[in-house]
Amino acid sequence: MKLGAVVLTQGTRPVELKALLESVAVQHGAPVEVVVVANGVPLPELPAGVRGVETAENLGIPGGRNVGIEAFGKDGSDVDAVLFLDDDGLLPQDGDAERIRAAFAADPRLGIVSFRIADPESGETQRRHVPRLRATDPLRSSRTTTFLGGASAVRSEVFATAGQLPGEFFYGHEETDLAWRALDAGWDIEYRADIVLHHPKTPPSRHAVYNHNIARNRVWLARRNLPAPIVPVYLGSWVLLTLLRTRSPGALKAWFAGFADGWRSPCGPRRPIRWRTVWRMTRLGRPPLV
């Protein structure tokens, strides 16, 4: 099985990027082909054998990753699966590429593999990095309904059947949008605790657009993908959860501004998932209500 890897960079982490590329290069088995996408910035110096692509502007995370997918042919068809790796991440185990190959080879319906993210200093996996509701045991692998964008592998056939990442999202929930479409197309998603990406422990709110985009894209996610009767239930539950969880008036103001923007602005084509997919997600422990 031929693997490709897409790494986005904005040129701010040259030391970390170099270490990540070295950790990919030493993986066991056939070499992993790597494309580094310089997202609106000049390409950094890259090791021999690593391809680079520059974009004229910052396309955001999903848009930049889509450019990387297309670098491997239409819908990534020149490789069997595409890894998405954050440029400040690191693969600490040199056998993970072989584990990914084995996982896909063993199950032809497995479409997406989500890795365990661990802090390199403490080894801790943050609860938000376990893509399921029952997140108390990050060392337990399981089928899931979403995945972690910067620590994942997607079978190229998924892009051909379910589409690529939603570029208009820019940042936030783009993985869930693809995951729901992949599930609706009949693919499985698996969180694998034994495949690890080291990544420093950081709060998602470090991004200036975090609260706005999370709320806007939550609305877009529902408008694009959910059957009409579920949309108000799903979004109503997230309004309530946000009010209960958020203490900062500034964060709440940005969140509700994004929520309103999600209703006013175009979100792309609407293709609601089937009711049997809703039931399947429910059986997996995460109905599309929360």
**pLDDT attached to residue 96:** 98
- C-alpha span between 156 and 1 (Å, rounded): 11
CATH of region 3-202:
3.90.550.10
Q: How far separated are the first and last CA of the chain, in Å rounded?
A: 36
The beta-strand segments (E) located in the chain are: 3-9, 33-38, 51-54, 81-85, 110-118, 142-143, 151-155, 188-198
Q: What's the pLDDT at 53?
A: 98
- pLDDT score of 145: 97
> 10 Å Cβ neighbour count for 173?
22
pLDDT for 203 equals 73
Question: For 87, what's the count of Cα atoms within 13 Å in the CB-facing half-sphere?
Answer: 21
Kindly give the parts of the chain with pLDDT less than 50.
none
75 half-sphere exposure, CB direction, 13 A CA radius: 11
How far is the C-alpha of 134 from the C-alpha of 257, rounded, in Å?
Answer: 30
Looking up tokens 């365990």 gives: 116
CATH 3.90.550.10 residue ranges in the chain? 3-202
Condensed to tens digits (0 to 9), the pLDDT of residues 94-132 reads 999 999 999 999 999 999 999 999 999 999 999 999 999
CA 202 to CA 207: how far, in whole Å? Answer: 10
Phi first, then psi, for residue 168 (nearest 5°) are -65, -15
Tell me what pLDDT residue 205 has. Answer: 58
